[in-house]
Amino acid sequence: MENLQLIIPELFISIMIMFLLIFGVFKKNSSQLVYNLTTVSLVAALALIINLDSQIQSSLFNNSYNIDNLARFMKILLILSGIFVMLSSSKYIQISKISKIEYPILILCSILGMMVMISSNDLIVFYMGLELQSLALYVLASFNRDNLLSTESGLKYFVLSALSSGLLLYGCSLIYGFSETTNFNQIMVNTKEIEYGLTFGIVFILVGLAFKISAVPFHMWAPDVYQGSPTSVTVFFALLPKIAALTVFIRFLYIPFYELGDQWQMIIIFLSIASMVFGAVAAIGQKNLKRLIAYSSISHMGYALAGLSTGTTQGVQSSITYITIYLVMNLAFFSCLFMLKRNDEYYENIDDLSGLSKNHPLLSLSLLIVLFSLAGIPPLAGFFAKFYIFVAVINEKMYFLAIVGLLATVIAAFYYLRIIKIIYFDPEKEKFESKHNLGLKFTLVASTFFILAYFIYPSGIVDIISQININ
């Protein structure tokens, strides 16, 4: 019973999923109501998580499910992002005619899967969570089934993701074979010596995880899926799975295989450098904003991995800080994207932004702040995110990684500047609608304010994150 008390948030979400499914089927035309109820139940889940005694650090269910500071922080982050995604995209799904009862329920399923991933301390539990979130995401990606691009992106994501899941499962089986256990802590005890099979297992799992956070060279799906999916799903893709996958990355590298650091460190460094550089270079030629942000998020994941590659607690904390700030920036960016609407049609090409600043000064100003922050220019939050990463990286004397990372920042600055140029320097086009629903406006204002004002009190988040301790 005690165990169950600690997973009340997860239980609550599971119950809500079943309830909403039944409710939605029996009540006609209830899609909007189900959507709102989903948002409310996310808020309730958030309250339940915050309400849990923060002193408790325990492992449940035969040591396979962790409730610790890391899990708690990441879940709060996850559900907060979920709430904001729901708030900002409600209008979009109505207009895009994808407002069906299944949509919010799938989102809940996927969030439940991610919560399981975040807490997992066992290969089987971890895989279960992963599949739950992935299956929901396959459907979500192709949710706009009349749209060719959306169907394509769903199928593409399914095929590639299934392949990576297969690799991951194979890696799990190898590790089980060589360590005789699936429990993370137990694996650490049982694997004092390096064996080839074990190394292969690590590599397979890392490949699977790298796929989930779209690190180069396992990024191929990201641009197509980002572009093809409905924007409301793209924003979901850009934010939530990253949180879950990064947490698993942290747990996996720092609990069972911490001792084998020299086995995985080079892989992470490679993934990190490749993602930073490729993401920055490939984004330059893009014309579609969603595609561009896909490459940009590839590049950002590279920085988050750079923090992980250090093998220190400080590195992990810097990665968590990075992902937190990344979430806010992307949320703000997508909120802006949701505002580019004219006559019930959404615009997502870079050229559509031309001269935006003349007609929509406030929206352009937010975009300006968000883009400069994504580029990592001080004093905006994006700079601090990178700053913490480099502090951790340089502490480990990994100068090469730091310098490559910073040079990639300069390349990336180019395409962010290009968007700013189009917004501010180019001739104006037709006006967009200026009426938006409250949730969207609130999301944009809150996230932009966070980015802008972060420098006033940077210690706040750092202090919270510094309580997260692995090992």
**Can you give the binding site for other proteins, defined by CB under 8 A?**
361, 372, 377-379, 383, 387, 390-391, 394-395, 399, 402-403, 406-407, 409-410, 413-414, 417, 420-421, 424-425, 455, 458-459, 462-463
Bridge partners, residue 341, by sequence = 346
Alpha carbon distance 125, 61 (integer Å): 10
Question: Which residue, 17 or 423, has its beta carbon nearer to other proteins?
Answer: 423
Question: Which residue, 125 or 401, has its beta carbon nearer to other proteins?
Answer: 401
Work out how close the CB of 317 gets to other proteins at its nearest, in angstroms, rounded to a whole number: 12
| CB-based contact 158:121 (threshold 8 Å) | no
Tokens of 409: 């920042």
Work out how close the CB of 356 gets to other proteins at its nearest, in angstroms, rounded to a whole number: 13
Work out how close the CB of 450 gets to other proteins at its nearest, in angstroms, rounded to a whole number: 16
Question: Which residue, 74 or 408, has its beta carbon nearer to other proteins?
Answer: 408
* 261: nearest Cα among 387, 396, 386, 169: 396
Question: Which residue, 176 or 424, has its beta carbon nearer to other proteins?
Answer: 424
* 42: nearest Cα among 76, 90, 18, 66: 76
For residue 143, give Cα distances in angstroms to 19, 169, 182, 225.
22, 27, 35, 12
Q: Which helix (H) or strand (E) element contains residue 58?
A: strand 58-60
Three-state SS string over 320-354 comes to HHHHHHHHHHHHHHHHHHHCCEECCEECCEHHHHC
Question: Which residue, 145 or 421, has its beta carbon nearer to other proteins?
Answer: 421
Work out how close the CB of 449 gets to other proteins at its nearest, in angstroms, rounded to a whole number: 13
| CB-based contact 192:176 (threshold 8 Å) | no
Question: Which residue, 186 or 466, has its beta carbon nearer to other proteins?
Answer: 466
Work out how close the CB of 437 gets to other proteins at its nearest, in angstroms, rounded to a whole number: 23
Work out how close the CB of 308 gets to other proteins at its nearest, in angstroms, rounded to a whole number: 18
Alpha carbon distance 103, 35 (integer Å): 8
